[in-house]
Amino acid sequence: MEIGLIEWFDDSKGFGLIKTADNNEVFLHISNWKDSRNLNTENKIPILFNVGFQRNKNTALDCKYFNKNNSNDWQTLFSIKEHNFIVKVKYSEFNLLQLTFNSLNADFDISIVKDFFIEGIENLSESELLEKHNWIYKTYQNTKIDNLKTLLLKIINFRINKLSNTQILQFWKKKILTDFEPSDSILTHCYKEIEIVELKSIQKIETRNIIIIKKARNLAENFNLLDFLNFDQIFKIIDTENLRTKITRDITKIAKSHYLEIVNQKIDDSTKNEIISIWDLKKIISEQPTFLDDEIINSIKKELEKKIIQNGSFRIVIDSWNENLLELNNDFIKTKVKEQNANDLEYFLNFENSNTEQIDIVLEQLLKLDEYEIVLDKSKFHSIKLFEKYDKLIFNRLEEKEYFAFWKLKKGMILPENHLNTYLNHNEDYYRELDDWLLTKTISKEAAKKILFSNIQETKTINSRFDFYTLYNSIKSIISIDNNSISSLISLQNTCIPLILWHLKIIEEFDFETLKGKFIYFKPNDQVNIFKRLFYLKHNQQIDFDLEKLDEILRADVDLYLSNEQYNNDFVLDISTHIIIECLKSYVKTGNFVFESDLILKDLRNNSDKKFKIEHYFDKCKGRLTADWDWNTVGKITQVFYGEGQFYYAIEFEPGRQAEGKNYYGSYTYFEKNPNFENLKEEVKKIPNRKWNPDKNHWGVPSSNKEDVYLFAKKIDSS
């Protein structure tokens, strides 16, 4: 007979289809239903039938429901090819065997099916027995009838135990049947093949302990590193103190005789590896098995320490020291630092483990390598005592000019007084530096006053503008530090000092003769201010002079300039004052302002880049003659297009132009500066988003700033 499930059935017409496990469809007509139980299409009970040919089609004959008490029906069910009990009906799958078992009662007579299961499992090949999803195992797992489940487990155990020990162990390891466990004899015999996970799952403690003892004994005879390390987990499942003590004793012997040799070799190889990291070295200790006793762990630590020092780079040694893998003594450091570069020595000083003596050793080596900045920085960080020691050593070792570079950055703290005496010269910028040093307390007021006063004392004669402004700046600076220094300065009996103090408006009196000799050393704008002050004092009747006396001041300076060409690069003489005096003298003598001057003629003949300057007095004189610089002719605003329909505004104006002049010697050309150039530049800088284009020599302004460009143009046109 065949077996299957109703796929569909039309009650009104009395026919339908039966679907078999091999996916065949057989026609069912109600006239062929022979069971005493009525056909109910809602019942998912297997149907048994014979196949015949009626109505020109394969037709189910002698149809009836599966009878659980009929051994023939069970025979039909178990005879399904390859025990494929799955039937697909209306997009669903049904297991014929499971449907049958689900309909069984607890009092079902299992003897009816016993032989079928025995035959079914006996017919399975060894490979099929080791397939987890085999039908018989699934049947066992899914059945809910206890006595049937017990029967199946007994049948399966009986069949599996016919396999070889290796196959039985394989079946167990695969967890094909969770309730299956090999016999004690097999487990203890195959102890080598039992992993930690399987060992934990063994139910009988005695059997498990025997396996553990055998594993330890085998490890002593045939050492295997992985098996040895596995004891870290095995110790966790030992539940008797006696066994734990015994295994600990055995494993400790094995560790000393076998394991230490492997670990020591690993340590040697690791420390010789140039790219090994400190974290890898730390793992050698941290990943040791927990069952090792303190003696063995300490032995490993000592070996690691020895090999790191013997094989490792200086940085690895320092890292290991910082991570407490080893201790460094002073003798080792003394020996090793001589072989290291500055970077590695500085690396050592970055850690806090070192003591003062060790730091001193490393700093001393860095000093030998001329690494002064590192020495100063690191010694200052560690202790005042060390810093003072090395600061003094470096100061004595270097020229003061070299040490000054560290001092001004507050890296060195010893005042380079001798260098500062020469450093504070005519350059005004250096005195601004001095102000900053005073502000940051790099130098004390008393020390600064001492240096400045020394400079003033040493500047007894003035032979150049450099001498003069060294004296000038020193006086100005010392007065700003201590206003009470005036009397001390005057007491030096230097005639130039009162003149400078008078110019700085600190005292009211000055010597006219001294002014005559030193006027040329003042900057051009200071020269103008002095003359303006002289006229102011004369107006207030505080002094009296005539043109001849004023001319003596200029005459001395002009003579000095004309007779000493070496000073050409020393100063620039503003001849505005000379022109005023000569004009006034000419007016007194001739009634007009026309005059002739060797000084001006010399300037016109001079073909150097540095000409005399005529400014300061006349810079804001409305009657001053200047070229007519018309914005409309020398400046313009245009639209520069780029891209598709995009543009920006270009603003251009000339800084000046080449002009031609004539004198006694003929024609000459000169550059005539645009007097409005600076004002125009400042105005265009006020336009937002403007940017100078050095390639095009114009200012570019985005088209979005149209209103700003308009206001700029309007302002320029109206000025």
Instruction: Convert 489-522 into a string of H (helix), E (strand) and C (coil).
Output: HHCCCCCHHHHHHHHCCCCCCCCHHHHHHHHHHC
Q: What is the DSSP letter of 442?
A: S
Residues 618, 626 contacting (CB under 8 angstroms): no
Q: What is the pLDDT of residue 558?
A: 57
Over the stretch 44-93, which tens digit does the pLDDT of each residue have?
Answer: 899 999 999 988 899 999 999 999 888 898 888 888 887 888 999 888 88
Over the stretch 320-354, which tens digit does the pLDDT of each residue have?
Answer: 998 899 888 888 889 889 889 999 999 999 888 88
Domain locations in the chain?
Answer: 181-327, 631-718
Q: What is the DSSP letter of 287?
A: T
Q: What is the pLDDT of residue 37?
A: 92
Question: Angle at CA 264, nearest 5°, toward 259 and 268?
Answer: 150
Phi, psi of 681 (to 5 degrees): -65, -40
Over the stretch 168-217, which tens digit does the pLDDT of each residue have?
Answer: 999 999 998 888 999 999 999 999 999 989 899 998 999 999 999 999 99
Q: CB under 8 Å to 109, separation ≥6 — which residues?
A: 69
Q: What is the pLDDT of residue 110?
A: 86
Over the stretch 242-282, which tens digit does the pLDDT of each residue have?
Answer: 999 999 999 999 999 999 999 999 999 999 998 999 999 99
Distance CA 116, CA 521 (A): 130
Phi, psi of 701 (to 5 degrees): -130, 130
User: What would the DSSP string read from start to end of 630-692?
Assistant: -HHHHEEEEEEEETTTEEEEEEEE-SEEEEEEEETTEEEEEEEE-TTHHHHHHHHTTSTT-EE
Q: What is the pLDDT of residue 664?
A: 58
